[in-house]
Amino acid sequence: DLPTIYAITPTYARWTQKADLTRLAQTLLHVPNFRWIVVEDSDTKTPLVTRFLKFSGLQYTHLNAKTDTNFKLKSTDPNWLLPRGVSQRNEGLRWIRENLPANTGGVLYFLDDDNTYTLQIFEEMRSTKVASAWPVGLSGGLKFEGPGKCENGKVLEWYTAWKPERPFPIDMAGFAVHLKLLFQHPEAQYSNSVPRGYLESHFLTGLKLQRQDMEAKANECSEVLVWHTRTEKPKMKHEEALIKQGKSSNS
Ligand code: UDP
Ligand code: MN
C-alpha cells in the first residue's frame, strides 16, 4: 500500500486566491493517496473555498483558524515583516493529532498555496521514514536552497547564504516528516515568536530532529522538484473604484 500524504495548506482571501488554489488543486488531482488539509485564515469557512473544495474532486479536510490581529500582515506591509501561515499550520496539526490514530502510516507536508510542485516531489516524499529534505528552487535568494550535496541518502552539505546558522536552512516546501513524529512529540508546532527565517527550524527542532537526520530526496538532492514561486498582486484600482461606488462587490 502507498503511504498517504497529508498536506496542510494555509490560505487567505485575496484577488488571486482562486487562481492559486486552482493551479494547485489541478496538480494534486494527479497525486494518489493524498489528503488535502486546507486551513483558511478566517473566522469562518468562506463560501468561495467551501465551494471550491466541494467541486475539486480531491479528498480534503476544510478547517479555519484566523491569524491573531497582532500577527496579521496589512495589505500594505512588506511580506517578510511577519511570519505567515502559523495558526493555520497549527490548526492542521491539531486536526491530525485529534483525528488520526497514532499509528497511522503516512507523511506530513506543508503545501503553501502559491508554490509550484512537480508530481515527482510527492512520490519522493512518500517513502519518508522519519524526515526527509530536498532543494527548493528560487528560495533564500538563491537558485535553490536546502541540501546541496548528498550521498547515500545523507546530506553532506547545505546550500544556503542567508542566516546559514539556522538549524535547518530550508524552505517550508523542502521537507516532509513521518506522521509518527507528530505523536511522539505532541507539543511540536509552529510559533509566531521566532526570528525571521526560523519557522521551519523551530518546528523541526521541536520534533527533536537534527540536520543529519534528514533523508536526502530528489536524486541525492541533485534535482529541483518544487519552486518557491509567488503570484503577482494585481493592481485593482478600477475595480476598487467601482467597489467604492457600490457597483461591485468586494469578493
Ligand atoms: N497565508 C495566510 N495568511 C496570511 C498570509 C499568508 O494563511 O495572512 C498563507 C498563504 O496562503 C500561503 C502561506 O500562508 O499558503 C505562506 O504565505 P505566502 O505565500 O504569502 O508567503 P511567502 O511564500 O511569500 O513567504
Ligand atoms: Mn508563498
3-state secondary structure 67-136: CCHHHCCCCCCCHHHCCCCHHHHHHHHHHHHHHCCCCCCEEEEECCCCCEECHHHHHHHHCCCCEEECCE
Rounded (5°) CA angle 76-195-90: 80
**Percent of the residues in the chain that have a pLDDT greater than 70, as a whole number:** 99
Atom of ligand 1 nearest to the CA of 9: 15
Question: Quick one: cell of 200?
Answer: 521551519
Ligand nearest the Cα of residue 197 is 1
Contact 218, 133 (CB under 8 A): no
Beta pairing, strands 131-133 & 215-216: parallel
Contact 166, 175 (CB under 8 A): no
Mean model confidence pLDDT for the chain? 96
Does 83 contact ligand 1 (Cβ within 6 A)? no
Is 166 within any annotated ligand binding site? no
Does 140 contact ligand 1 (Cβ within 6 A)? no
Residue 127 has pLDDT above 70, yes or no: yes
CA of 88 from ligand 2 middle (Å) equals 14
Of all protein residues, the one whose alpha carbon is nearest to atom 1 of ligand 1 is 85
Does 112 contact ligand 1 (Cβ within 6 A)? yes
How distant is the alpha carbon of residue 9 from its chain centre? 5
Confidence of residue 75 (pLDDT cuts 50, 70, 90): confident
Ligand nearest the Cα of residue 82 is 1
Of all protein residues, the one whose alpha carbon is nearest to atom 18 of ligand 1 is 84
CA of 250 from ligand 2 middle (Å) equals 23
Of all protein residues, the one whose alpha carbon is nearest to atom 12 of ligand 1 is 112
Is 229 within any annotated ligand binding site? yes
pLDDT tens per residue, range 83-98? 999 999 999 999 999 9
CA of 198 from ligand 1 middle (Å) equals 15
Q: Rounded to 10 degrees, what is the CA torsion of 219, 59, 26, 17? A: -110
Question: Quick one: cell of 13?
Answer: 482571501
Predicted interface score ipTM higher than 0.85 = yes
Q: Is 148 helix (H, G, I), strand (E, B) or coil?
A: strand
> What pLDDT, on the 0 to 100 scale, is given for residue 42?
97
Interhelix angle 47-54/17-28, rounded to 10 degrees, is 20
Ligand 1, from 18, 84, 139, 203: best to mutate by most atoms within 8 Å of Cβ?
Answer: 84
Backbone angles phi, psi at 5, to 5 degrees: -95, 125
Q: How far is CA 250 from CA 10, 238, 245, in A?
A: 21, 12, 11
Distance CA 198, CA 158 (A): 16
Rounded (5°) CA angle 121-109-41: 125
Q: Model pTM?
A: 0.97
Confidence of residue 250 (pLDDT cuts 50, 70, 90): low
Catalytic positions, written as ranges: 200
Distance CA 222, CA 177 (A): 20
